């Protein structure tokens, strides 16, 4: 008979012990079993379940990180996979990285495509959303005078990219403004579509903005643009694995996203989707052989790069699926509502995000009126060790707050209490 001690000394016993570590996959699986059949809305408020998820990360809990919009920590299983692949690569990179690890990028492509609802042959794996979007922005043939319509709340780097084409290729860039928060989604589509002129060749806009977390009615805009022969580039940097959808809900031509944000994949990961028939005509940023012009992989010809980062995306997808997209979105809204609904009753506080689920999810932007936002952010850090992002736009300002699945109620409540203190000072 194998004694308990002998068992624990074996390799099998070693992995059994690992499973019972505070962040062991076993505990996450047991937590998932405990909520089977329970609605996502009920699970959102089940602290026993979320405690298991909180324990799956190796965080610094002496700070309250409410800037998960920048880039996110990965759960330990994902970070461990990244480190394992790096260690393996380093044995003999030309063999272990190029021959063993790199070909497995195809598994990642297949799984990402499965999650996004597209064909794997329509999805290129990139290093971030900037690269994904710039491939589309710089790869389209545009003539002098051709117009791109976007918004003045799109991401700075993407606007800079278009500005470079204005200087280099003499295209025209039109940036529309929209209310914060809008009352209805049609306000957003009406403004974008209303700006189209006979010269418009491209519409570029966010699925969800990084400034206030405003979700756009992507499908309505893309369908109308397609009807008018206009290409659509959708910036989904903040959308993928944040709330559930597939490409069929979008109908866009090009879609770029980060995976080091809401999917919790390693830093330096993203993807670009494009409709299959567009691959041939889009120039890659980093040129590839002419024979590859119809192959989505032509956008991945970036030279030597670590395989570890993109391969560990697979582990992040498994972690994401273990929680479930619906459950995750419900929890994120639950956390956002917990601070936002408490603060919105304070006359000195303005919430710039429409809290309707059709308009937003985890991201919320809040202003303490009468106090400059950079000062509020500085106080949150120096007095409470809370990290949040100052948003100072020409038309409004506020603190952007982005919790994540590992955020505790105590952390959210500390933030809400801190903001009340600052507002009532
Ligand atoms: C709306 C939006 N687009 C694009 C990006 C760029 O993403 P990345 O840093 O992954 O290139 C960001 C980053 O925060 C963003 O918020």
DSSP track, 85-129: HHHHHTT-HHHIIIIIIGGGHHHHHHHHHHHHTS-GGGEEEESSH
Distance 260 CA to ligand 1 centre (A): 10
Query: Dihedrals φ, ψ of 262, to 5°?
Result: -75, -20
pLDDT tens, residue by residue, 302-322:
999 999 999 999 999 999 999
Closest-CA residue, ligand 1 atom 14, reads 70
- Give me the residues paired with residue 299 across strands: none
Among 151, 153, 237, 264, name the best residue to mutate to test ligand 1's pocket (greatest count of ligand atoms within 8 A of Cβ): 237
Task: Give the model's pLDDT for residue 30.
Answer: 84
Q: Hey, how many other C-beta atoms are within 10 angstroms of the C-beta on 240?
A: 27
- Cα distance between residue 212 and residue 393, in whole Å: 11
Task: Give the model's pLDDT for residue 24.
Answer: 62
Distance 255 CA to ligand 1 centre (A): 12
- State the average pLDDT over residues 8-32: 54
Phi/psi region, residue 194 (left: phi>0; alpha: psi -120 to 50; beta: rest), is alpha
Closest-CA residue, ligand 1 atom 11, reads 130
Is 374:399 a contact under the CB 8 Å cutoff? no
Task: Please say if the pLDDT value at position 208 is more than 70.
Answer: yes
- Ligand 1 pocket, 151 CB below 6 A? no
Give the 3-state secondary structure of residue 279.
coil
Distance 269 CA to ligand 1 centre (A): 11
- Ligand 1 pocket, 243 CB below 6 A? no
- State the average pLDDT over residues 137-147: 98
- Ligand 1 pocket, 239 CB below 6 A? no
Distance 234 CA to ligand 1 centre (A): 12
Q: Helical H runs in 236-312?
A: 307-311
Task: Please say if the pLDDT value at position 28 is more than 90.
Answer: no
Would you place residue 187 in the very low, low, confident or very high pLDDT band (cuts 50, 70, 90)? Answer: very high
Measured from the Cα of 154, ligand 1's closest atom is 1
Task: Give the model's pLDDT for residue 219.
Answer: 98
- Ligand 1 pocket, 89 CB below 6 A? no
Q: Hey, how many other C-beta atoms are within 10 angstroms of the C-beta on 277?
A: 10
Distance 157 CA to ligand 1 centre (A): 8
Would you place residue 9 in the very low, low, confident or very high pLDDT band (cuts 50, 70, 90)? Answer: very low
- Ligand 1 pocket, 129 CB below 6 A? yes
Task: Please say if the pLDDT value at position 177 is more than 70.
Answer: yes
Distance 389 CA to ligand 1 centre (A): 14
Local structure of residue 208 (DSSP, 8 states): B
Closest CA to 129 of 246, 232, 262: 262
Task: Give the model's pLDDT for residue 22.
Answer: 53
Would you place residue 223 in the very low, low, confident or very high pLDDT band (cuts 50, 70, 90)? Answer: very high
- Ligand 1 pocket, 130 CB below 6 A? yes
Distance 204 CA to ligand 1 centre (A): 14
- Ligand 1 pocket, 238 CB below 6 A? yes
Q: Hey, how many other C-beta atoms are within 10 angstroms of the C-beta on 393?
A: 15
Would you place residue 21 in the very low, low, confident or very high pLDDT band (cuts 50, 70, 90)? Answer: low
Task: Please say if the pLDDT value at position 360 is more than 80.
Answer: yes
Is 195:188 a contact under the CB 8 Å cutoff? no
Distance 237 CA to ligand 1 centre (A): 5
Task: Please say if the pLDDT value at position 5 is more than 50.
Answer: no
Give, in order, the Cα–Cα distances in Å from 273 to each of 35, 236, 358: 34, 10, 23
Local structure of residue 67 (DSSP, 8 states): B
Task: Give the model's pLDDT for residue 231.
Answer: 98
- Cα distance between residue 386 and residue 372, in whole Å: 17
Whole-structure pTM value: 0.94
- Ligand 1 pocket, 271 CB below 6 A? no
Closest CA to 335 of 369, 367, 352, 360: 360
Q: What percent of the chain has pLDDT over 70?
A: 94
Q: Taking the CA of residue 47 as centre, how many other CA atoms within 13 Å lie in the half-sphere pointing to its CB?
A: 4
Q: Hey, how many other C-beta atoms are within 10 angstroms of the C-beta on 123?
A: 24
- State the average pLDDT over residues 34-43: 91
pLDDT tens, residue by residue, 379-424:
999 999 999 999 999 999 999 999 999 999 999 999 999 999 999 9
pLDDT tens, residue by residue, 59-108:
999 999 999 999 999 999 999 999 999 999 999 999 999 999 999 999 99
Distance 312 CA to ligand 1 centre (A): 20
User: Which has the higher per-residue pLDDT, 281 or 34?
Assistant: 281
Task: Give the model's pLDDT for residue 181.
Answer: 97
Q: How many residues does the chain have?
A: 425
Closest CA to 63 of 425, 421, 414, 417: 414
- Give me the residues paired with residue 340 across strands: none
Sole residue written with tokens 């109620």: 409
Task: Please say if the pLDDT value at position 19 is more than 50.
Answer: no
Task: Give the model's pLDDT for residue 31.
Answer: 85
Measured from the Cα of 235, ligand 1's closest atom is 3
Task: Give the model's pLDDT for residue 26.
Answer: 75
- Ligand 1 pocket, 127 CB below 6 A? no
- Cα distance between residue 384 and residue 413, in whole Å: 12
Q: What percent of the chain has pLDDT over 90?
A: 91
Q: Which two tokens stand for residue 3?
A: 């004694």
Would you place residue 23 in the very low, low, confident or very high pLDDT band (cuts 50, 70, 90)? Answer: low
Would you place residue 373 in the very low, low, confident or very high pLDDT band (cuts 50, 70, 90)? Answer: very high
- Ligand 1 pocket, 128 CB below 6 A? yes
Query: Dihedrals φ, ψ of 292, to 5°?
Result: -95, 5
- Cα distance between residue 240 and residue 326, in whole Å: 12
Query: Dihedrals φ, ψ of 112, to 5°?
Result: -65, -40
- Ligand 1 pocket, 263 CB below 6 A? no
């Amino acid at each position: 008979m194998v004694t308990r001690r002998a068992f624990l000394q074996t390799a099998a016993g070693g992995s059994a012990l690992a499973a019972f570590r505070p962040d062991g996959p076993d505990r996450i699986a047991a937590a998932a079993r405990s909520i089977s059949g329970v609605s996502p809305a009920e699970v959102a408020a089940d602290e026993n379940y979320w405690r298991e998820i909180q324990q799956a990360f190796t965080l610094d809990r002496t700070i309250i990180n409410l800037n998960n919009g920048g880039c996110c920590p990965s759960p330990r299983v994902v970070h461990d996979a990244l480190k394992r692949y790096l260690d393996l690569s380093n044995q003999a990179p030309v063999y272990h990285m190029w021959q063993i690890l790199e070909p497995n990028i195809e598994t990642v492509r297949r799984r990402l495509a499965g999650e996004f609802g597209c064909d794997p042959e329509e999805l290129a794996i990139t290093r971030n959303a900037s690269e994904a979007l710039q491939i589309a922005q710089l790869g389209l043939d545009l003539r002098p005078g051709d117009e791109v319509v976007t918004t003045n709340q799109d991401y700075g780097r993407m606007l800079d990219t278009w500005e470079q084409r204005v200087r280099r290729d003499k295209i025209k860039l039109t940036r529309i403004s929209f209310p914060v928060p809008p009352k209805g989604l049609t306000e957003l589509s009406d403004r974008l579509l209303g700006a189209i002129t006979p010269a418009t060749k491209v519409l570029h806009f966010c699925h969800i903005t990084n400034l206030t977390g405003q979700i756009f009615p992507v499908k309505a805009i893309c369908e109308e643009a397609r009807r008018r022969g206009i290409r659509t580039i959708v910036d989904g940097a903040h959308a993928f694995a944040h709330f559930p959808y597939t490409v069929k809900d979008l109908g866009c031509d090009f879609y770029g996203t980060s995976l080091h944000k809401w999917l919790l994949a390693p830093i330096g990961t993203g993807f670009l989707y494009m409709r299959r028939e567009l691959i041939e005509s889009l120039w890659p940023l980093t040129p590839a052989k002419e024979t590859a012009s119809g192959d989505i992989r032509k956008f991945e010809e970036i030279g030597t790069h670590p395989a570890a980062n993109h391969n560990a995306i697979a582990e992040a997808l498994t972690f994401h699926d273990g929680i479930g997209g619906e459950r995750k979105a419900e929890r994120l809204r639950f956390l956002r509502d917990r601070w936002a609904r408490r603060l919105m009753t304070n006359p000195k506080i303005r919430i710039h995000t429409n809290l309707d689920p059709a308009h937003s999810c985890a991201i919320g932007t809040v202003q303490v009126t009468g106090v400059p936002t950079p000062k509020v952010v500085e106080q949150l850090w120096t007095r409470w060790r809370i990290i949040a992002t100052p948003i100072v736009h020409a038309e409004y300002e506020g603190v952007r707050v982005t919790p994540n699945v590992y955020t505790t109620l105590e952390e959210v409540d500390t933030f809400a209490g801190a903001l009340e203190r600052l507002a009532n000072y």
